[in-house]
Structure formats: C-alpha cells, structure tokens
Chains A and B, each alone.
Chain A
Amino acid sequence: MQTLSNINVQLNDAPLDQDAFLVIDNVSKVYPTPSGPHVVLDGVNLSVREGEFVCIIGHSGCGKSTLLDMVSGFRQPTEGQVRLQSEPIVKPGPDRMVVFQNYSLLPWFTAFENIYLGIDSVWPDKPKAEKEAIARDHLALVGLAEAADKKPKQLSGGMKQRVCIARALALRPQVLILDEPFGALDPITREELQEELLKIWTEHQVTVLMITHDIDEALLLADRLVMMTNGPAAKVGEILEISFPRPRNRSRVMESPLYYELRNYALDFLYRRCAHDDVE
C-alpha cells in the first residue's frame, strides 16, 4: 500500500495473497490469430476477499471480459490459474453466476420460468413448491413480483436486467460476475439499478466482480477499483481503495471530498497515464 494524500493505491508489484477467497494468479491469455499470437492479458494478478465488491475498469478491448470469462470458466488462461477457495476453475458453474453484457433471458419463457429453470437445474431434488417459492422471492427481491408472468419482450431493458440479477442470485452463487450490466440502460434506470444492486449486495454479502465503464458507478458500489492498463498485453495497472463508509448512499458519497480525489485519480490514470494513443 502506498499513501498519496488520503488515497490508498495498491501498485501491481504488490505481493499476491495466495490464500484469498478468489485468486487470479499470474494469468495470461494469448489468442492465436492469422497474423501471429495476440497477447491480450499478460500476467494479471488479483486477489479478492469473500464478500468483497470489486469493480474493473479499463479501455475498450483491453481484455476485461476475457479476464472475467476465465473466472466464470468460459475460457481458460493460456498461463497461470484462477482459483476459487483454492480450487482451480475449469468450467462454468452455478457457483459463479454471470449477468451477461447482453440480455440473456430465454425469450420463450416468462420472467418466472427463466428464474425457475436455473433453480430446477441446480437443485433437482428440492420439492417443486420450494423451488417456486425461491423463484418468487427473488423476483420480489428485484421488485418484479408483478411481472412474473411476462415474457422478456414485454419487459423494459432495466426490468430484463433485474430478472437476470434475480436469476443469478437465486442460485446462491459464491461469486456474482457482472459484465457492464447497466451499460445499455438510460441514466435514470441505471442509477435505480445501481442502488438496488447496492442494497442487494449489502443484504446478501455475495462476492461481486463487475466490469464498468462508469467511474461514478464504481465509486458508489465498489470496495476496490481495479484499473487495467491498455492492451495488447494488458495487466492490472493500479488498484484504488474506495473507503467510503457503508451503508452508502449516492448523495453522501458524492458530498465527500475524497470522492473528487478518487475520481480525478482514476480519470488521470485512464485518460493521461493510460491514454489511448493508438486507434481502436
């Protein structure tokens, strides 16, 4: 840890806590391309405590989705290892639920059926009434009890993303992975959902990894903000400690003098020290 005025920054040469809840241990990802191997990530190190809320920010194409895909198990690291509670991650599973970048509800099922499908798959032996109760409770959790019988097409973008969050949380995951979950929403809905996610996380204390392009979103939600360097061969640049007391609310966070210091620090990292000089 380094202390710059009252900002806590962890630099990327800090030793990795090998026994943390979730460990991304020296992970590299190389894609073979026609013009030779393309190194997307080069030696990414990150450890996450249980119940922590971590946001990841970085320029488009630097490899954020690739990194989280290796936590969810959709891709395997070329080098290094991702471990959850000391177990290497080899494939996707309901202990690491993902809220995808696009809406990924099955359009032929209602909101309720979409949530029920997962519950039924993970706990096939639970009595039906109990599984239905879990689905209903989680729809209520995201404020959509009334929309249970609606198809995704009848739901707004914000409502769809709420159902996705409900579906993920209903399976009691150890890690919740969100890839720009609110990127496609209008600003007002986005703020509503951020506050809802904050509330849910406070109640569930689930470990969250969330990609965002929105520094304010990260400052409101996260315990730490992971700032990635530009690709190719991106790594963790610096990790900002976001120490606003909890429970947080938006206006209190934004009134804090620390808020502007943190914000400026992150902006400086992204747009000066890691400015995009090459074309995308």
Chain B
Amino acid sequence: MATNISTRPRSNPYAPNWGSKIIKALTNFVPTLVAIVVFLLIWQLLCSGPNATLPGPIQVLQDTWDPLIIDPFFQGDGTDQGLFWQLAASLKRVAIGYFLAAIVGIALGILVGVSTIMFRALDPIFQVLRTIPPLAWLPISLAAMRDAQPAAIFVIFITAIWPIIINTGVGVQNIPQDYNNVAKVLQLSKPKYFVKVLLPATVPYIFTGLKIAIGLSWLAIVAAEMLTGGVGIGFFIWDAYNSGAISEVILAILYVGLVGLLLDKLITFIGKLVLPED
C-alpha cells in the first residue's frame, strides 16, 4: 500500500479537501449533539422523582413508540389518524392560507409602497390590525364562515398577511433613488419599470416578510386547530392532553417544532433560488 501512496500526484492545495470538510462538519455538529444529550439528561433527572407530573424522555419514547412513532401513516376513523396525516392536514391549511396571504400581501405591499396616498390611507389601518393576536380573529372568522375549516384558513391568512404587506411596502419605498433616476432618464415604460427595476429590488424584502409570515402561520395553526377541532396536529395535542396522554403531547410538540424548522428552511431555500448570489 505504501508504494501506492508514493506514486500518487501531490494533492492540489486549492482543491476541496474532504478530510478537513468532514472535520469542519463534525466540529459544527458535536456541540449541538452534546447540548441535546445534556438537555435530555436534565429532563430525565427532573422527571424521574416519584412526584414528577411530566414523563421523562425515556418514558415518552416507551409510551409513543407503538403505534405513534412506528406507524405515522395509520388511517383510522374520524380524527384517529397517524401523525403524518395530522401534520399533513395542518400543513394543507397553512399552505392555502399562506399562499393567499402571499398573493394579496405582495400586491397590497407594492400598492402601498408605490403610492403615497395609499400609504397614508392604509398604513395606519395595517399598523393597528397587525397587532391583533391571531386567535382574536377566530370568533369573527367562525361567525362569518360558519365552518371550522375555512375559519382556520382565514386565521392563517390574516396572521401571515401583515409582515408580507409591511416588508414589501418598505422594500418598494427603499428602492435606491439611483435606480429610479436611471428608470426616469431611460424613460422606462411602467411595465418595464415594474419587471426590471421594482420587482428585483424588492424581492429580498418580500422574502423577509414571507419568512416571518411562515413562522407566524405555523404558530397560529396549532392554536387555531385546538379550538376548531378536526384532523390536525393542534387538535391532536389538545385531544391527547384531555385523555391524559402527556407523552403523546410531547411527541407532537417535537414534531411541530421540527416541521416549523423545515418550513423556515424551505422559504429560505426558495429565497436563495430566486435571489442567486448575495
């Protein structure tokens, strides 16, 4: 084997070095791993006394392994569904509400950003409405829609729309004066200005809004579903709590956190695709 090595060309110092890459990944990952282990240990210690009100991690794993963890695709009657279907139902509501909020929010944001009159007229209203907690919309929404499903979607919509409107508006207002001056000397037509200057300049701001909005939507859907019921991770948590299955609550919460993280990463990823370098 030694002869083999000596005949190899010398490695290029500028080529990616796999050894150092793996070491770098490890040094990034090891602290996280240590923190998780320490966290689990503390949790286990705190919950192992005879008076503990919550299960420790080992208990949670034992309680939920069969069938919740190993069979997420279980399909029973009514709300008796595997965790995958519960999450999928919640994600579907979020997707519809969030998608509508993105379309309406970007349009309104551009309107407010372009027109001073519209800004003066609408911005104070937006500033008041955006501070309303998502769940405060639920009763109105239920009263108006008379059905839990569209009411939950409306809550997502109304939660997600404000950061999208406001960030888009700020983005349009912050288009550098130089770019607008260029558009004026070149006498760009309105549609050309929109596509070639306004949109590209605003896209980073739009994605800031979209990212905040996806986090808020996911926060709101869990709370809304607890109240509206039906298949969905929020009602699953509430239902498990009411039947005393705290381990199931904890497992579901963990899934909620992981899905929330994935949603955030998804929007960041799409943002990176739309905005190459930067």
Binding between chains A and B: yes
A residues sitting closer than 8 Å to B (CB atoms) are: 72, 74, 91-94, 96-98, 100, 102-104, 106, 108-109, 117-118, 121-122, 151, 153, 171
Q: Which of B117-125, B178-186, B255-263 lines the interface with chain A?
A: B178-186
Closest 10 CB pairs of A and B: A104-B178, A108-B200, A92-B184, A118-B186, A92-B185, A121-B186, A104-B182, A121-B188, A98-B185, A102-B178
Given A74-B181, A153-B277, verify A106-B197 contact (CB < 8 Å). yes
Tell me what chain A mostly uses at the interface: helix, strand, loop, or mixed: loop
For B185, what are the chain A residues with a Cβ–Cβ distance below 8 Å? 72, 92-94, 96-98
How many cross-chain pairs have Cβ atoms below 8 Å apart between A and B?
48
Alpha-carbon separation in the docked complex, A171 to B188 (Å): 13
Contact of A121 among B178, B179, B187, B277 (CB under 8 A): B187
For A103, what are the chain B residues with a Cβ–Cβ distance below 8 Å? 178
For A121, what are the chain B residues with a Cβ–Cβ distance below 8 Å? 186-189, 192
Alpha-carbon separation in the docked complex, A97 to B196 (Å): 19
Contact of B196 among A74, A98, A117 (CB under 8 A): A117
For B192, what are the chain A residues with a Cβ–Cβ distance below 8 Å? 117, 121
Alpha-carbon separation in the docked complex, A93 to B189 (Å): 12
For B181, what are the chain A residues with a Cβ–Cβ distance below 8 Å? 74, 92, 98, 100, 104
Given A104-B178, A104-B181, verify A92-B196 contact (CB < 8 Å). no
* Mask: chain B, 195-232; 1 = CB below 8 Å from A; 0 = not: 01100100000000000000000000000000000000
Contact of A117 among B178, B184, B186, B277 (CB under 8 A): B186
Alpha-carbon separation in the docked complex, A59 to B277 (Å): 40
Alpha-carbon separation in the docked complex, A97 to B178 (Å): 13
Chain B nearest CB, measured from A85 CB (Å): 18
Q: Which residue of A lies closest to B179 (CB)?
A: A106
* Mask: chain B, 150-192; 1 = CB below 8 Å from A; 0 = not: 0000000000000000000000000000110110111111001
Chain A nearest CB, measured from B169 CB (Å): 20
Contact of B186 among A91, A94, A109 (CB under 8 A): A94
For A153, what are the chain B residues with a Cβ–Cβ distance below 8 Å? 277
Alpha-carbon separation in the docked complex, A39 to B182 (Å): 27
Contact B186 A106 (CB under 8 A): no
For B188, what are the chain A residues with a Cβ–Cβ distance below 8 Å? 117, 121
Alpha-carbon separation in the docked complex, A153 to B276 (Å): 13
Q: Which residue of B lies closest to A171 (CB)?
A: B186
* 22 sample A-B contacts, Cβ–Cβ < 8 Å, listed by A number: A72-B185, A74-B181, A92-B181, A92-B187, A93-B185, A94-B185, A94-B186, A94-B187, A96-B185, A98-B181, A100-B178, A100-B182, A102-B178, A103-B178, A104-B178, A104-B179, A104-B181, A106-B200, A117-B188, A117-B192, A117-B196, A151-B277
In the complex, which residues 30-51 of chain B have their Cβ closer than 8 Å to any Cβ of chain A?
none
Q: Apart from A102-B178, A104-B178, list 7 A-B contacts with CB within 8 A.
A: A74-B184, A94-B185, A98-B181, A104-B182, A106-B196, A108-B200, A109-B196
Q: Which residue of B lies closest to A154 (CB)?
A: B277
